[in-house]
Amino acid sequence: MQPGLTHLSHCLLWLLFLQTSADLPMCKESDYHFEYTECDVLGSRWRVAVPNKADTCTGLPDPVKGTQCTFSCNEGEYLDMQSQQCQKCAAGTYSLGTSVAFDEWDSLPSGFVTHGVITNEGYDQTDCSNSTWTPKGDYIASNRDECTATLSYAVNLKQAGTLSFEYFYPDNSIYFEFFVQNDQCQSTDSNSRWMRISENSWSKYTVELNKGNNVLYWRTIAFSLQSSTVKPVLLRNIQISGVAYTSECFHCKPGTHSANPGSARCTPCPADTYSNKGATTCRECEEDKYAVIGSASCKPRPACTSSDYFYTHTPCDSEGKTQLMYKWIEPKICTETVEGALKLPASGEKQTCPPCNPGFFVSNSSSCEPCPSGSFSNGTVCTECPAGTEPVVGFEYKWWNTMPANMKSSVFSQVFSDSDRRTAWEVAGEYIYTTPGDQDTDYLMLTLSVPGYRLPQSMVKDAERSELSRITFVFETICTADCKLYFLAGYNQWNNDVVEHWNGRNQKQSYSYLIQSNSTVSFTWTFKRTEDYGTERNYSADVAKIYSIVITNAIGGVATKCRRCALTSVKAGSACVLCPPGHYMVNGTGACQKCPPNTFIRTDQPVGEAACIQCGPNTKTNKAYTACLSDCMLDVRTSKGGRLHYDFSPLANVTSVHSSPRFTNKGLRYFNRFNLGLCGTEGRMPASCVDNVTESGREVKGYVCQSTVVPSDIRSQSLVSSQPFLIGDSLIGVTTETKLGNISSPKWFPAALGLPDVIFYYRSSDATQACKQGRLATVRMRCDPAVTTKDHIMLPSNCSEGTCDGCTFHFLWQSQHACPLCTKNHYREIVSACIQGIQRTTYVWQQPVQCYGGQPLPAQKVSACVTLDFWLKFGVSTGAVAAVLLISLICYFWKKTRKLQYKYSRLIMTSGGRECELPTADSCAIMEGEDAEDDLMDLTKKSFFTKIKSFSRERTSDGFDSVPLKSSSSRQRLVEEDSDDEIEQITLPRHRGSVQM
């Protein structure tokens, strides 16, 4: 895109001049194009028509108001200047929107400048004019000599944007830096301008760019005098966003395509396909031709040779068998059908798998697995080290049936960008070797990663005279050309230096390298068949073999033997095999003795009975007998003989509390943040504090920790944490006592409820110059049912930082979850009056409430009841019934009495007045002329009032009753009838005279 006119006035004058040329024809749309003028201070611009050729036509369109300078289109779109609207790119084209990309390096793109200069330490007569960055098709490569090569690109951003690029930087023999200079020629921070090593693959780098002018610099400085041993730095896929709008779409380059409209980038064609410029699809190659990924054309397939396949050993199957197998190099480009082509050799017969490497054992799946910690093996079975010994750990590889887990094989090719997916080194049973490559100039790399090194405990005393570690390997090179084998040591993520290299053919030999620092984290073997870039696959038979690799004292390694420990110097973190959990080693012997119940073993002194430490109150030892834990449950006996049950589980999660803000001398605000992990089982999540400022990323974990926090926008974070340290990493005990051992909890203001506070005591073993005995902490849990939040934590009012001496920290945690669990003793019942036959019983908490959770309040109970009106009615009814029964009884007994009186009077009359003499038996008959039926009274058939009347009529005028006399038999019968309580009919004759005897 051509630059716009500098000023709108100049453009208008020029257009006015053209319009005065009456001899010129009127301009057509094909005779001119549109451009934007420079943006003014308000961010505005004009769209003007500019002729493609001067003085060819007249009548150009008038200038119109343009889009704002901040206007841009999205990826896959372009700005149509006619309508000033964004349109999608057609298929076969792409657009990055406000970005520009450089992915073709057949030549140096426009705007890039490269030059080489002599370093300050070099000689003036040294010619560095040819020491520049060189385009290599898919990438651009740096120099490999002692000169300084610089690649620069100047860009003006209309808005803030980003720069991203991919680089390959495998050799620390070259200093590689990248930096940006702005309008004021100010460069980026020098500490971040040095690029990191990328040993095996391409790395991506991204940086933010400011609005305005930016000058990008890539600079390499080689320091090795042997240029052939230096690997160049490679760059590719440079992309810059925020440049400006784009008014056109770009055609896909050959070997790529875009099938859909609105594409932001083009997709490489798959293998065995190709495409031309601006393609929407990829075309298939003919059967006798091939193409690699991203090819613009197809090539004839060559006849297959021995360089097109390699051999390997298959992993052990379930029967413990393996076999030699041949495989084509992928992607396969040769053909087996032409004359003279080789066929893929048949696989060999199955054979018994070789033994596992020392320190490994054969698993059930016939694979080799590392022995557990504290055991060793010779490659067959694992054996535990005896008590009082320690495993000698490291790595020893001498059987190569599979690639070890900590080793990686990769190919770096300076021709194909997708070379990192091919195999470089392959296992072959007794050795590992380099496979044939696509190019003889490829770097075939094998990398072994090691986390670190540690001396055996028995050698700690003589650490100054003992070697930290040593790596020894046996190798061989078979070459017909100028091949080279490099051995590199990666000291850290920045440095990867060549330790030694061998040229040409080398017989089987051993090489040993002494490791003196824990910063040596990787080792790389790199094989290159030739330096002649004109050859392709002429030396595929050249090979490098490694038979064995041994590293001593490697962290994370396996053991091949055990060594007797130094019993008097066993420290924390030692690899010495100690007694079983819960046991200690008797001094001077290898015997193990069990510790008392509920104790843990001191990690700093596991020898002797003093190593058994009793757990504090309300804590229990863990399964490993290394610490005491609290399950957040607690029972406390009260002074009145009762018990309080606590459950702190809702407060077990990590909780944070901040101190009051403080300020530095320059006014920077900061505060201390405490993270608390109160209690929990062995699987609890510990509290952690981190340092997110430096690259170290240091992190501490425990019960209580502290870090300094500063509000900041660094790294897109609202808070920056630094200086983390542990306050408590072990739990001493949980109790209501205000002192435990040498730790005292301060007297806070008394609790409002009068309940005892539960105090957690912690200790940290991290000793400092100020805290020689380590740090201490107490967390006082106080019941407050009104506090619903879980993080209501207070610091001492007289020590706003949580501590007054810098060593002992105190916290007060008020929460409803710090209250004892509710029981039936914490509530009472209220019984309501009986209303309409219903009575309610309601349960309420005792006031003030001194519990939370636990047993909930019982639900309201409803029961049936009887009202006062019912009882009144019931009493009246019952009284009436009782009165009737009483009257009936009275009548009954009155009648009985009357009968008895009658009988008694008869007996008296018949006795003749003689005392104690019974009347003689006699009989009476009914007098003649008397009708017995006239005077029969059936007392059982008459009512009460009728009986009274009858009684009054039966009396004579002289007041005597007329009583019939019967015989003794009749009297006897009458007595029997009376005894049976049966009332018979009695005949009373109506004689007025006396009774005749």
CA 709 to chain centre: 24
The pLDDT score that the predictor gives to residue 350 is 85
Burial of 953 (0-12, 13-18, 19+ CB in 10 A): exposed
Helix (H) or strand (E) holding 977: helix 968-979
The amino acid present at 712, given as its one-letter code, is S
Given CA atoms 810, 814, 820, 826 in this order, what sign does their dihedral have? positive
DSSP string, 602-653: -TT--BSGGGEEE--TT-EE-TTSS-EEB-SEEEEE-TTS-EEEEE-GGG-S
How far apart, in whole angstroms, are the C-alpha atoms of residue 628 and residue 728? 13
What is 629-821's CATH superfamily? Mannose-6-phosphate receptor binding domain (2.70.130.10)
Bond prior to 597 in cis (omega within 30° of 0): no
SS3 369: strand
SS3 886: helix
CA 940 to chain centre: 103
Q: Where are the domains of the chain?
A: 104-243, 354-531+542-561, 629-821, 827-864
The pLDDT score that the predictor gives to residue 927 is 47
Range 463-469, long-range pairs (CB < 8 A, 24+ positions): 467/514, 467/515, 467/516, 468/515, 468/516, 468/517, 468/518, 468/553, 469/394, 469/514, 469/515, 469/551, 469/552, 469/553, 469/554
Helix (H) or strand (E) holding 887: helix 868-910
**Helix-helix angle 868-910:968-979, to 10 degrees:** 170
Which distant-in-sequence residues (6+ apart) come within 8 Å of 579 by Cβ?
387, 585, 592, 593, 606
Intervals of the chain under pLDDT 50: 1-21, 120-123, 190-191, 225-227, 416-421, 461-462, 566-573, 665-666, 694-696, 713-717, 921-941, 944-945, 948, 951-997
The pLDDT score that the predictor gives to residue 955 is 46
Class level of CATH domain 354-531+542-561: mainly beta
The pLDDT score that the predictor gives to residue 192 is 59
CA distances from 354 to 310, 314, 363 (A): 20, 12, 14
Residue 380 C-beta-side C-alpha neighbours within 13 Å: 1
CA 268 to chain centre: 38
The pLDDT score that the predictor gives to residue 589 is 59
The pLDDT score that the predictor gives to residue 505 is 92
User: Are the C-beta atoms of 726 and 809 separated by less than 8 Å?
Assistant: no
CA distances from 873 to 803, 878, 882, 885 (A): 79, 8, 14, 19
The pLDDT score that the predictor gives to residue 280 is 93
Residue 739 C-beta-side C-alpha neighbours within 13 Å: 3
The pLDDT score that the predictor gives to residue 668 is 55
User: Are the C-beta atoms of 374 and 391 separated by less than 8 Å?
Assistant: yes
Q: Determine the length of the chain.
A: 997
CA distances from 284 to 271, 289, 297, 573 (A): 9, 10, 10, 62
Could you tell me the two tokens for 808?
Answer: 């002992």
Could you tell me the two tokens for 53?
Answer: 């050729």
CA 30 to chain centre: 63
| Closest alpha carbon to 174 in 123, 114, 218 | 218
How far apart, in whole angstroms, are the C-alpha atoms of residue 241 and residue 261? 21
Would you state the torsion angle of the CA atoms of residues 587, 592, 597, 600, taken in this order, to the nearest 10 degrees?
A: 70
Chain mean pLDDT for the chain = 77
The pLDDT score that the predictor gives to residue 966 is 44
CA distances from 996 to 270, 618, 901, 989, 991 (A): 159, 115, 22, 13, 11
CA distances from 900 to 421, 764, 886, 916 (A): 135, 110, 21, 19
SS3 330: coil
Choose which CATH entry (3.40.50.300, 2.40.10.220, 2.60.120.200, 2.170.190.11) describes domain 104-243.
2.60.120.200
The pLDDT score that the predictor gives to residue 940 is 45
CA 842 to chain centre: 47
Residue 36 CB coordination number (10 Å): 23
How far apart, in whole angstroms, are the C-alpha atoms of residue 57 and residue 61? 12
The pLDDT score that the predictor gives to residue 969 is 43
Do 104-243 and 354-531+542-561 share a fold? yes
Could you tell me the two tokens for 427?
Answer: 């296992």
User: Are the C-beta atoms of 852 and 785 separated by less than 8 Å?
Assistant: yes
How far apart, in whole angstroms, are the C-alpha atoms of residue 412 and residue 55? 56
Rounded to 5 degrees, φ, ψ at 367 are -95, 160
> If you search the block for the tokens 């009648």, which residue do you land on?
895
User: Are the C-beta atoms of 621 and 615 separated by less than 8 Å?
Assistant: yes
pTM of the predicted model as reported, rounded to 2 decimal places: 0.47
Q: What percent of the chain clears pLDDT 70, i.e. is strictly above it?
A: 76
